[in-house]
Chain A
Amino acid sequence: MRYAMAVDTLRCVGCSDCVVACQTENDVPIGHCRDWIVEKTTGTYPELQLEIRSERCNHCANAPCVRTCPTEASHYAEGGIVLVEESECIGCKACITSCPYDARFIHPEGYVDKCTFCIHRVEKGQNPACVSVCPTHAMIFGDLDDPNSDISRAMATRKWKSLIPEAGTDPKVFYLI
């Protein structure tokens, strides 16, 4: 089991529904976010290119946050999902500085918080909240080890990229381009 997510940049319109769904589902404290929208414009007017991405923790297979955590609070859960165990986190912030995507933040209660791929929903066979609400069906979640899963099919038939693969993190969130 290797959970992964693919975001179709040709479908994403940047409506932020995924961000709101995450905040509601996971009770993310006001002023913080576990997922966010990046709009990247390249070129000089009128020759412009626009890419819109819904971003979050990349649930890296070689996660620097897990490596640098001194207490095993940051760990790999089933399917390679990277999680933080609140009661083991001391708030040293080594994981935050080690993340090239800046995907983690300090919860107002002191521990470090981030996207969980909605593991509590995934365990029940549901999609993460952001994927379920996406109005353009731009996001796909599933198991890379299953060749017939939607995500494996999409990755096999579409061009895709991941973010800063040169950082050596082996990210598990992909962007269809």
Chain B
Amino acid sequence: MIEEIITSGRMNPEIDPILHVWGWEIPFYLFLGGISAGILIFSAYFTLRGRQDELPVAVKWMPLAVPFLIGIGLIALLMDLSHVLYFWQLFTNIRWESPMSWGAWTLGIIMPLSIAWIATWIEDIFPKWDWKFDEVKTAIDWLKDYRRYLAQILILLSVILGMYTGILLSAFNARPFWNTSILGPLFLTSGLSASAALVSFFSKSEVEKRLFTRIDIILIGIELFMIVHLFMGHLAGTQVHIQAAQMFLGGAFTVPFWVFVVGLGLLLPVVLEILELKHKFIPAIVPVVLIVAGNLMLRFIVVNAGQASRWLY
């Protein structure tokens, strides 16, 4: 038997004995960013397909939530900064190699664009809406002419937003659990899935409900596939990656992840949604709450597990 004892005089707060510099703010923001990206992608995509009147909740109503979701996310992000008075430095630098920089710029552009996007739909949603000033009305009418281009830009930026929430973590090779590029697509898919579930919950039209339930079932299937691949990749990796995966295969994160994220957050709602499509009565709130809670939990667990995984030397 070989014993290895490492003693260290270092005890920096939040670094030792286990890194925990990112608390609730980061996973909470990643969750809101993912849902916002999902909502905008569906809205823009179905506008390009010309289905705005058939799918009013997905195209016109859901984007109303986006500026609020991103706004709350931004507040969480600012709360995380320990030198917050200097946050403007994010916007005096463009750093191609830094995911944090990509995120700041994407958010900075997507926030006003999402408001412009809503503005082009607001008269459809509230027929009595009055812009008060003619100049504003002229500007919005001008925007409406360019709605297709706006939709294309929004899809591109939203995919970046959704992916970046995962890439932010996977860019850190110092934390083996995060160091897998599948986190980007996984978080994008999970954000899309939560927003699809929200659309089918809020929609009153049978066509829209059924379409988004079907989309959600497919997305959850892809998510499960990616989770399996996440662990396959780690288990086929180096010793530190294997150890990181073992936190989920017998270690501290096993029960929270497999029971709450995979069981209650993915498998149970997908079964309920399939039953819904077969016209069985399922209270509509149940699958959506499970999916959204699972989404949030996935991000909390991934952020915490990554910080707990490390190189050994």
Contacts and interface: CB of A to CB of B under 8 A. Distances in A.
B100 A70 contact: yes
A111 interface: yes
Interface string B273-313: 00000000000000000000000000000000011001101
A127 interface: no
Interface string A67-91: 1111111000000000000111111
Interface in B56-97: 80-84, 86-87, 89-90, 92-93, 95, 97
B10 A36 contact: yes
B98 A70 contact: yes
B19 interface: yes
A86 B82 CA distance: 12
A1 B86 CA distance: 32
A108 B84 CA distance: 13
Contact of A33 (B3, B5, B10, B171): B10
Interface in A89-130: 89-94, 96-100, 102, 104-106, 109-112
B86 to A, nearest CB: 5
A68 B12 CA distance: 21
A46 interface: no
Given A42-B2, A68-B100, A97 B21 contact: yes
Interface residues of B, number: 49
B310 to A, nearest CB: 7
A6 interface: no
Contact of B8 (A37, A88, A96, A110): A37
Nearest to B1: A44
A100 B15 contact: no
Nearest to A86: B83
A82 B100 CA distance: 19
Nearest to A33: B10
Interface stretch (B172-180, B223-231, B248-256): B172-180
B240 to A, nearest CB: 9
Contact of B172 (A33, A64, A168): A64
Contact of A69 (B5, B13, B82, B98): B98
A155 interface: no
A97 B12 contact: no
B258 interface: no
Contacts of B93: 70-72
B6 interface: yes
B101 interface: yes
A40 B81 CA distance: 35
Contacts of A67: 97-98
Interface string A129-172: 00000000000000000000000000000000001101110000
Interface of A: 16, 19, 31-33, 36-44, 55, 64, 67-73, 86-94, 96-100, 102, 104-106, 109-112, 163-164, 166-168
